[in-house]
Amino acid sequence: MTSGIYKITNTVNGKFYIGSSQDIERRWRDHRSTLNHNKHHTAHLQSAWNKYGEESFSFSIIFRCQPDELLDYEQAYFSELKPQYNHGFIAGSSLGIKRSEASKLKMSLAHTGKPSGRKLSVEALAKLATARRGSKRTFTDAHKENLSKAGMGHTISEETRAKLIASHIGKTPWNKGLKKNNDNQ
């Protein structure tokens, strides 16, 4: 594992990106992966990668250092070389930041209840619900067999069924519970 400063250079126009990592080889694999999937965090580098292609870029380690020295050296290289593909010229990292318990709790609360992934409007959710209502899923025999092998669609004993029913007696269905709670506010 190599720790230090690295450079991604466009061999066509000479423009470059400067970065630092505790594991430079892994970081280069990460860069290539995000660039090849058109998801790199630096739009200017992504645009050049898309235009010139992977074969037009070279990767080099320009300085080896200890992990605790990375940001200082990265900042020095930013200041001296002024890389064209970096979106900022201030070296920064959350690596090694110790957060207080209060900060951890605050961040946790900020994310509680937020779904990951894309957010859908109320109208889009309603359309999805309508489309799903009344639709009957049909499976091929091969699909049914695969589901069976996976243990899905298995039958449960009468005893287990009785326990499930008993556990739900007196509970409000989730959609009626939401409406009821909204009426109380």
5-23 pLDDT, tens digit each: 999 999 999 999 999 999 9
* Count of structural domains within the chain: 1
Residue 131 main-chain phi, psi, to 5 deg: -65, -35
Tell me what the mean pLDDT of segment 81-107 comes to. Answer: 71
Asked whether residue 160 is domain-assigned, the answer is: no
Q: Which residues contact 166 (CB under 8 A, 6 or more apart)?
A: none
Sorting pLDDT into bands at 50, 70 and 90, what band is 182? very low
Asked whether residue 166 is domain-assigned, the answer is: no
The answer to whether residue 31 scores a pLDDT higher than 50 is yes
Asked whether residue 23 is domain-assigned, the answer is: yes
Per-chain mean pLDDT for the chain: 78
Sorting pLDDT into bands at 50, 70 and 90, what band is 114? low
> Which domain CATH number covers 67?
3.40.1440.10
Any idea of the CA torsion for 167, 171, 173, 174, to the nearest 10 degrees? -100
Asked whether residue 53 is domain-assigned, the answer is: yes
Q: What is the percent of the chain with per-residue pLDDT over 90, rounded to a whole number?
A: 29
Asked whether residue 177 is domain-assigned, the answer is: no
The boundaries of the domain holding residue 16 are 4-81
Asked whether residue 120 is domain-assigned, the answer is: no
Asked whether residue 174 is domain-assigned, the answer is: no
